[in-house]
Amino acid sequence: MSAPQSTLRFDLDAIARRIGGQIDKANGPSRVLDIGCGDGALMAALASDYGADVRGVELDPAKVERAVSKGLSVIQGDANTDLANYPDRSFNFAVLARTLQTTNRPDQVLEELLRVADVAFVSFPNFAHWRTRAALMFGGRMPVTNAIPISWYETENIHHVTVEDFRTLAAAKGAKITREWNFANERAISPLGANWRAEFALFELRLSQSR
């Protein structure tokens, strides 16, 4: 028998473990803001496993209702507009899992993320994965893959992004990438050639000291 599997999606599981490892209980419960929190799976895990003080923002009212009915503090809101109300550094960690590519202005959302929290986690499907490239190159059509399963006309992904694009954006925003994870077939892979090989990427960032 293998060890019990986490029920969290692989990128959320990586975030939970990473936050869990960094939680400084001496300074009271860590405060986490999960933007695009869905029905609150990561929030619930962080609260129960690590005693974190978690808040969520979610656009879909049905998901908000499910999260609130679990007793989680989630507001129905929009990453594009609702982060502005949070004071600077009001959280230890902010999470933006598979949401960046759905926002109107990913650059501004990233700025807000780095403003409200000391450490930000961002995950997204990598549009430069070889399957995506192949679909476009040989099929001549917008890719529909495991990582990008919805047709172009109904997907919520309005700003596709690649691993390389994100690194460039992070640097432009004065953020230092302190950790990077890459995933293919729902497993972590080595960062070697990540922009080709990763279906999903996850970054941990914080503002550089110089800023």
Partner 1 sequence: MISASKTYAISQSLPLDSGQVLDGARIAYETYGELNEDRSNAILICHALTGDQYVASTHPITGKPGWWERMVGPGKPIDTDRFHVICANVIGSCLGSTGPASIAPDGKPYAMRFPVITIRDMVRGLVALLDGLEIETLHAVVGGSMGGMQTLSLAANWPERASRVLVLASTARHSAQNIAFHELGRQAIMADPNWCDGDYYGGDAKPDNGLAVARMAAHITYLSEEGLTEKFGRRLQDRPDGTKGAKSFGFEADFQIESYLRYQGSGFTQRFDANSYLYITRAMDYFDLAEEHGGKLANAFARSTARFCLVSFDSDWLYPTSESRHVVHALNATSAKVSFVELSANAGHDSFLLPHDQLDRVVRGFVE
Question: Which residues in this chain contact partner 1 in the complex, by CB under 8 A?
Answer: 31, 53, 55, 61-62, 64-77, 82, 85-87, 90
Report strand pairing: 187-189 vs 175-184.
antiparallel
Q: Which of 70/176 has CB closer to partner 1? A: 70
Q: Which of 75/142 has CB closer to partner 1? A: 75
CB of 90 to partner 1, least distance (A): 5
CB of 73 to partner 1, least distance (A): 4
Q: Which of 21/61 has CB closer to partner 1? A: 61
CB of 94 to partner 1, least distance (A): 13
146-173 in b/e form (b: 16+ CB < 10 A) is: ebbeeeeeeeebebbbbbebbbebbeeb
Q: Which of 17/70 has CB closer to partner 1? A: 70
Phi-psi region of 36 (alpha: psi -120 to 50; beta: other; left: phi over 0): left
CA pair distance 45, 18, nearest whole angstrom? 12
CB of 207 to partner 1, least distance (A): 20
What is the signed CA dihedral for 156, 79, 34, 115, rounded to 10 degrees? 140
What is the signed CA dihedral for 149, 11, 35, 211, rounded to 10 degrees? -120
Confirm if 6 and 16 have CB atoms less than 8 A apart. yes
CB of 119 to partner 1, least distance (A): 17
Q: Which of 86/196 has CB closer to partner 1? A: 86
**Partners of 125 in beta bridges:** 200
